[in-house]
Each structure stands twice: as C-alpha cells, then as structure tokens.
Amino acid sequence: MTGERNTVINTVLVANRGEIACRVFRTCRASGIRTVAVYSDADENALHARVADAAVRLPGAASADTYLRGDLIVKAAIAAGADAVHPGYGFLSENAGFARAVTDAGLTWIGPPPEAIEAMASKTRAKELLGVTPLGPVTESDLPVLVKATAGGGGRGMRVVRRLADLDAELTAARAEAASTFGDGSVFVEPYVENGRHVEVQILADTHGTVWALGTRDCSLQRRHQKVIEEAPAPGLSDELTAELHTLAVRAARAVDYTGAGTVEFLIADGGAHFLEMNTRLQVEHPVTEAVFGLDLVALQLRIAEGHALGTDPPRARGHAVEARLYAEDPANGWAPQTGRLHRLTVPDGIRLDTGCTDGDDIGVHYDPMLAKAVAHAPTRAEAVRRLAGALERAAIHGPVTNRDLLVRSLRHEEFTSARMDTGFYDRHLSALTGPAPDPLAPLAAALADASARAGRFGGWRNLPSRPQVKRYATAGEEHEVHYHHTRTGLTADGVRVVHADPHMVLLEADGVRRTFEVAAYGDQIHVDATRLTALPRFPDPTAQHTPGSLLAPMPGTVVRVAEGLTQGVTVQAGQPLLWLEAMKMEHRITAPATGTLTALDAEPGRQVEVGALLAVVVEDAE
C-alpha cells in the first residue's frame, strides 16, 4: 500500500511456495490473520498448501504456468476472500505489473509501490539512480564481466564471462534461464569484481517518511552467485564504512519513495563500496537481521501495509546471527540438485529452522532445491558460528544427498572463522571442503544394525564355525567393506568391542573410547548419524555397465537445448558443451568428456530424463 490511509488486513494470500510461504503464514497466524496458499500440481501435497487456512490450485507444474501467472493468483485471492497479497521472494515479488494488478483488484499489496519496483527491479535503472555508469560494448580490457538478469535475483540468469568468444553463448544461456525463472529474458553486462565481499543493508520504510537502515549482512559465501551462508552484522567493517553503506541504502530508498522491506546490496573491494542492486522484497536471509534486532520483519511489513508508522529509530542490535541454507544438492558433483523422499529433518533445540518441508515429503525437480534455513544467534560471532556448525553436524537429515557436510566444514574453515572470506571462497576451497571424510566406524555400525534386525527375524548365531559376514557400503564416492561375526555371545568385530547393537542404535568401543551411533535405514539407504551410506550388493551387477565415454544425466530434469549442428558422427572437443538440462529452475551444461566422435545422441529438447539416463556417447580419439 502506498498511501497513508489506515486499513485492516484480515486475510493474506502468499503468492509463493515452500519455505517463505510457511514463514509468512507463521507471522499471520500469530497476528490473527487468515492465510491463503496457492499451489501447483507438483506442490499439491506441499507443506505450505497443507498449513494454510485455504489453498487454491494453479494448474500445471512449470513456474511459467503457475507461480509466474499473476492473473491466476489475483483470481485466487479474490475467490478465497483474501484482502491482501504478500509476494514472498522470487517469482513475482519484484514484478511491478503484478503489484499493479493486485491493487487494481482492490487488494492490499504488501510491498513497495509499483513505481519503486520498476525503478529498482531494473538493475540498470537502479544504477543510474545512484550515479553508477553502465558498461558499454564489452572489449577485452573489460574482462571478466558478469551477465546478469535485469529482473533477476537468487543467482538466476547470471554468468561470469572471462573470454570474449564466450560472451554470445553466455548471453543466450542467461536470457533463457531468466525468462524461465522470472518471465523476463532481458539481461545486462557489468564489470565482475573478483574476490570482494558481498555486504548488504536491510531497509524498512513506512508511508510517513521514516526509513530504517537495519545494520549490515555479509553474504560472501556463494555458489553460482547464490548465497549459502549469511550473517549479521557483517564482521570487520569500520564504523565509517558501515555509516557510508547506511547512507547509500537510505538514499536509494528515498530516491524512489520506497515503502516496506527491501535490501540494498554492495560489493566491498579495495576498501570501497560498489553498489550492486536493490532488491525490492524480503530477502531469503532476513532471519539473521530479525535475530540481531529482535524484530519480526514480516509483521512490520504487514503494519506498514496497513498504514502504521515505524518508530523514529530502530531497536539496537544485540549479538551475532549466522544462517546456513540447507540444499538437496551434491556440491562435489557440480552442485547437482538431488531429488527423492525426505524421510526426516530435525535440528537440535536452540536453532531456528525455517523450512517448507516436513518428514515424508518428496523433493522434486521443478523448484529450487533449498530444504531449509538454519539460524543460530549468540552474544558473539564465534559462539554463533560454533553453535550453528554443531547443530548442523548433529541434525538428522535423512533422504537425498545434501550440502550439510559442506556447511559444517565451511563454518569451521579458518578463513571463515577469522572473517577473511570473500566471494571466491568456494572457488579456492571446494575440493577440500567436499573431499570424502566418512566416519570410519559408520559402515560397521550400519552392518551391525542390519545384522541385529535380521537376527531378530531369522536368528543369527549357529553352533558351527563360520566365515565372517561381509557387507559393502558406498559413501562420498568411496566403497567400504566391513566384516563381523555372529557368536554365542552376540555380534563381534575385529578390533572393536560391540557393546550393544539393535536396528536403531549401535554402541561401539574402539581404543578405549565408547561411541553411540543412531542408525536409520530406508531400503538400501542408511543414515548413521551424519553419514549417508548406500548398501551395495555383495557381488556387482555385471549388467550395470555403460560404454566408455557415456554421458549420463547427473540429475532428473528436462533437456532444454542441444548444441547447434550436433549429430551422430561429428567430432567434438573435450569440454565442448553438447546439451543443457533444466532442473530446479537452473540450467546445467553437459560437456564432452574427451575429444572424439559422437557415436550416440538421445537428447532431443523437451525430453524428460531421470538420473543415470544415457544422453550421448563420445568415443575418444585413439591418439
């Protein structure tokens, strides 16, 4: 709402899904406000659709047919009796046309004026407002550059270009991804500042002229330009630089008569601040600011939309907060998104967990693979970081492969604990952070838990000498073989004392140290504390072989493009892009593993593929 009239919001439709929809609903319920969800066919059983007071179906599964259809969402709001719309983040949250459609329908828009969205959602226009000169035609001297979606956010539609010859192809890829995600394929190019710090300022503005600058946040740990770990306040900034950032953020807000919650983002490099963009919405990482300032930003969004005034000054900051985004993805395998049943998701007490998933939900291919955000708040940065790392390590996350181990190792990395990180953190340390480091006793614990379960059903010990029992497991790309015995006194293993073993808990003593392992099995998938194992057959399946040079789908998804002129029999070069898969709103490039001849191709655009599906075969040159 942009005027100064007071209104009362009774029912809010959240034009979004997943975690942010659930988060807005939580505040609405606490405020006595009824809630309405919208859901796609893929989200029919999603948590956000289940917890709302009412839910309206958007037919289809693709974002372009559902969560990007502003006309359908406005109709849903009217049909469900909503009097206000909250856009969340992503999708239509920075779409001025949608904001106008909401207000034109007589509904209250819980966000900034459409004119402010237009001015700032266009990244090029935002830079002009703050006096930042746009980059002209790109030359060799400008490299590296960043291709960026004009209406984008969350790392979608972004490409770093280091060679001028790659620019056209990356522009095409960025436009396609931006159009798929935001419904707007326009992009622009700006200088790419490497190894700076990504720092942002949360702003909050009412309709009475008050603008709050709520501290700073550091979001430097990113993969594919999408944030992974965020914290507030940004560590190590001088008082002078912090004041400069606040001044620029408030100036940006006032330049467009901004109201509501927003974020102004900067890159800190060489001791100076470089304006990046203003996000005219609530950010994913807003909980760290809430924790430090003791605020509910969604509640304040609602109050501002009703016409209430903010206080003259914001509350004082207290302590430090750190947030980690838990994704269903494999960082060691090109950050490939993962799918499957989420059997269990719990964290220790004292940690805030914002999620749109619950036990038993299926993680599909259509949307962002973020499962949850875990937030720790403590009096000091060191305490908050330690608390979050420990909680994630002890969390029960049973189901698809996740980035949990990466998060724990990142939080404990010396470069992060000493606050010397920058946006190149994962470029430098990814291999070390994703290297296999399984618990050496986890496979044995899994085998003993399985043996105890089988013994309970069929009996285990036999009054005859026998060879050791053998079990094989895979974890983190490695295979482990364990041996144990059934004896008159129970299960035994060489070099380890088996104190207790049942299907869910195993107690082992090694070198005088006793440890307890919690075990959960879901078919051939076994979770032993934080270690994820796959039970392997005793003898490998001789039919599970592929021709050398086979390119298999690393994830379920849709073939969206095939390289021009690519047919069987052509020669391809090592690293040459052959085709593109779209999964969870991002494009993933499949490249030739070696220089050779393309002898098979089964990847026409539009084909839906599962993990491991054969896409192509490249026979390497004999030389």
Same domain, 228 and 349: yes
What's the CATH number where 467 sits? Answer: 3.30.700
Q: What pLDDT score does 155 carry? A: 65
Could you tell me which of 54, 12, 17, 7 has the C-alpha nearest to residue 31?
A: 12
Model confidence over 2-36: pLDDT tens digits?
A: 444 589 999 999 999 999 999 999 999 999 999 99
| 117 within domain boundaries | no
Other CB atoms within 10 Å distance of the CB of residue 526: 24
Residues of the chain with pLDDT under 70: 1-5, 121-124, 133-134, 151-155, 456-466, 538-546, 584-586, 623
| 463 within domain boundaries | yes
Q: Select from 427, 462, 494 the last residue of a domain.
A: 427
| 203 within domain boundaries | yes
| 1 within domain boundaries | no
Reading the block at residue 28, the tokens are 């609405």
Q: What pLDDT score does 374 carry? A: 98
DSSP code of residue 493: B
Same domain, 411 and 475: no
**What distances in angstroms separate CA 613 from CA 48, 567, 569, 620, one per listed residue?**
32, 18, 21, 20
**What distances in angstroms separate CA 454 from CA 102, 458, 486, 506, one per listed residue?**
60, 6, 11, 15
Is it true that the peptide bond before 503 is cis, omega within 30 degrees of 0?
A: no
CA distance 395 to 374: 10
| 558 within domain boundaries | yes
What's the CATH number where 20 sits? Answer: 3.40.50.20
Same domain, 154 and 232: yes
Domain count, the chain: 4
The phi and psi torsions of 371 (rounded to 5 degrees) equal -90, -40
Same domain, 387 and 508: no
Same domain, 201 and 153: yes
Quote the longest CA-to-CA distance of the chain.
87
Same domain, 385 and 294: yes
CA distance 290 to 321: 9
Q: What pLDDT score does 539 carry? A: 57
**Residue range(s) defining the domain that contains residue 608:** 550-620
| 405 within domain boundaries | yes
Q: Which of helix, strand or coil describes residue 496?
A: strand
Same domain, 486 and 420: no
Same domain, 364 and 457: no
Tell me the catalytic residues.
Answer: 281
Reading the block at residue 395, the tokens are 């969390």
Instruction: Spell out where 186-288 has E strands.
Output: 187-191, 197-205, 211-223, 226-232, 260-269, 272-279
| 5 within domain boundaries | no
Cβ within 8 Å of residue 482, ≥6 positions away: 443, 444, 447, 470, 471, 472, 473, 493
| First-last CA distance in the chain | 68
Q: Select from 383, 404, 427 the last residue of a domain.
A: 427
| 189 within domain boundaries | yes
Q: What pLDDT score does 543 carry? A: 47
Reading the block at residue 193, the tokens are 């500042």
Reading the block at residue 343, the tokens are 């059997």
